[in-house]
Every structure is written in C-alpha cells, then in structure tokens.
Amino acid sequence: MMSAALEFPLLFDSMIYSSMFHRSVLYSSKACPNLQQALPYKLRIIQSLKEVISNGSEASRDEVIFAIMALAWNESVHAIPEKKRPFNTPLRTVRWINVYGNVDAVPTHVKAVLDLIALRGGIENLKLSGLAEMIEG
C-alpha cells in the first residue's frame, strides 16, 4: 500500500490522517480528530476528493474509497474507561475492537463507500492491498 501511496497523494494524505487518529487514541484519553497537526491532511483529503470526484473517471478508484473511509471512521471515538477485572482477555483489543467499537462513523461517508464498491461491481474487484480486508473487518 505504501508504494501506491507514493504514486497517489490522496492515499498518502489519508494514511497520514488515519495514523494521526490512531496515535491520538493511543496517547491520550480521547481521540481528537481535529488535532492541529492533522487538519492540513484532512483539508488536503477533502480538496483532493473534490477534484477527483468532479473529474469522474477516477471517482471509484480504490484510493478514493480508502480516503473516504479515512474520513468516515476517523472522526470521533467515545473514550470509555475500561473496567477493572480480575482477568483481562487479550482479545479485548484484537483488531482495535476497543477503539473501532466506539467510533461514530459518518453515515454519508459510509454510504459513499458502499456506493463506490457497488459501482466497482463488489468488494472482490478492489485491488489495493488490504482494502477489502479492512472493509470486511
């Protein structure tokens, strides 16, 4: 995915923005998607999406789907304090379920992702490494 990100700046900005969201979850008590450092990337994602979508021919690219997913699922998370338990299963954090289970996805972005996947003919037609797995979760 990194080589694709170097060729398509929208994907690169989306990966950086998503990484900043994850970092804020790891190192603070609540995720703040409007971190000052993340805002330039979010703005570039929005501007690039506007250009690509208005072009039309590249609107359903895998990279565009990833970028919309970055905006949809990296907006806000409800920080729920973990309860003290006598035994903490290692599965409580598997695949970031403790984070993504508390995320409020933006419904219009989720619909856009689903519409673009349908336009591509289904999830099996996505070629970007790891994208289908992220969607299937």
pLDDT at 93: 72
**pLDDT tens digit sequence for 30-84:** 556 557 788 899 999 999 999 998 987 788 889 999 999 998 888 766 555 566 6
- Residue 117 is predicted with a pLDDT of 94
**Region 98-127 average pLDDT:** 86
Q: Which of 61, 64, 84, 57 is nearest to 13 (CA)?
A: 64
pLDDT digits (tens, 9 = 90+) for 12-31: 999 999 888 877 777 765 55
Measured CA to CA, the distance from residue 126 to residue 60 in angstroms comes to 10
The whole-model pTM stands at 0.78
